[in-house]
A and B are shown apart, each in its own frame.
Chain A
Amino acid sequence: MSKAATTEPSKFRQTLEDANLQLAVYTATGRLMEKRREAVAADVLPEYQELRTQAHEIKKHTLDNLDYYLELFEEHVTAHGGKVVYCKDGSEVADFVLRLAKERGARLIVKSKSMTTEEIDLNERLAHHQLESVETDLGEYILQLAHQRPYHIVAPALHLTRYDVANIFTEKLGVENETVIEKQTMIARGVLRQKFLQADIGISGANFLVADSGAVVIVENEGNARLTTSAPRIHIAVAGMEKMIARAQDLPVFLKLLGRSATGQPLTVYTSFLSGPRREGEVDGPEEFYVVLLDNGRTRLLADREKRQSLYCIRCGACLNHCPVYRKVGGHNYPWVYSGPIGAVITPQYMGVGKDPWLPFASSLCGACYEVCPVKINIPKLLLDLRSEVTKFKAKERGGWAERMVFRLWAWVMRHPRIYEMMGSMAAAFFPEGEKPGWLRSVPSFMNIGPLKGWLSQRDLPRPASKSFRQHWRSRRKGGR
Chain B
Amino acid sequence: MGPRVALFVTCIVDQLFPRVGLAMADVLERIGCEVDFPEAQTCCGQPAFNSGYRAEARDVARHFLSVFEQAEYIVVPSGSCTSMISHHYAELFRKEPEWLDRARAVGSRVVEFSTFLTEVVKVEDVGARLDAVVTYHDSCHALRELSVKSGPRRLLGRVRGLTLKEMDRAEECCGFGGTFSVKFAETSGGMVRTKVDSILRTGAEIVVSIDSSCLMQLQGALARANAPVRTMHLAEVLASR
Contacts and interface: CB of A to CB of B under 8 A. Distances in A.
Contacts of B88: 384
Interface string B1-41: 00000000101011111100110010000000000010111
Contacts of A26: 194
Contacts of A329: 187
B189 interface: yes
B100 interface: no
B187 to A, nearest CB: 5
B187 A410 contact: no
Given A408-B56, A458-B188, A459-B192, A324 B16 contact: no
A382 to B, nearest CB: 12
B14 A364 contact: no
Given A411-B59, A467-B18, A361 B183 contact: yes
Given A459-B221, A460-B223, A464-B15, A7 B183 contact: yes
Nearest to A455: B182
A412 B53 CA distance: 13
B180 A361 contact: yes
Interface string B122-134: 0000000000000
Contacts of B175: 324, 364
B150 interface: no
A350 interface: no
A414 B217 CA distance: 23
Contact of A387 (B51, B145, B188): B51
Interface in A367-386: 367-368, 370-371, 381, 384
B21 A13 contact: no
Given A455-B182, A459-B221, A407 B9 contact: no
Contacts of B54: 388
Contact of B63 (A362, A371, A414): A414
A420 interface: yes
B224 interface: yes
Given A387-B52, A465-B18, A469-B18, A365 B224 contact: no
Interface string B172-200: 11011111111111111111101000000
B141 interface: yes
B56 A325 contact: no
A415 B63 contact: yes
Contacts of A16: 186-187, 190
A270 interface: no
B45 interface: yes
B186 A391 contact: no
Contacts of B190: 16, 22, 328
Given A384-B50, A459-B189, A459-B224, A465 B15 contact: yes
A459 B223 contact: yes
Interface in A431-481: 438-439, 441, 450-451, 454-455, 457-465, 467-473, 476
A404 interface: yes
A335 interface: no
Contacts of A401: none
A78 interface: no
A424 interface: yes
Contacts of B40: 417
The interface centre, meaning the residue of A324, A328, A371, A461 with most chain B CB atoms within 10 A of its CB, is A324
Contacts of A468: 14-15, 18
A-B pairs, top 3 by smallest CB distance, nearest first, are A364-B177, A459-B220, A458-B189
Interface of A: 6-8, 12-13, 16, 22, 26, 324-325, 328-329, 358, 360-368, 370-371, 381, 384, 387-392, 403-404, 407-408, 410-415, 417, 420, 424, 427, 438-439, 441, 450-451, 454-455, 457-465, 467-473, 476
Given A407-B47, A460-B219, A472-B18, 4 more contacts: A404-B53, A411-B57, A457-B189, A469-B14
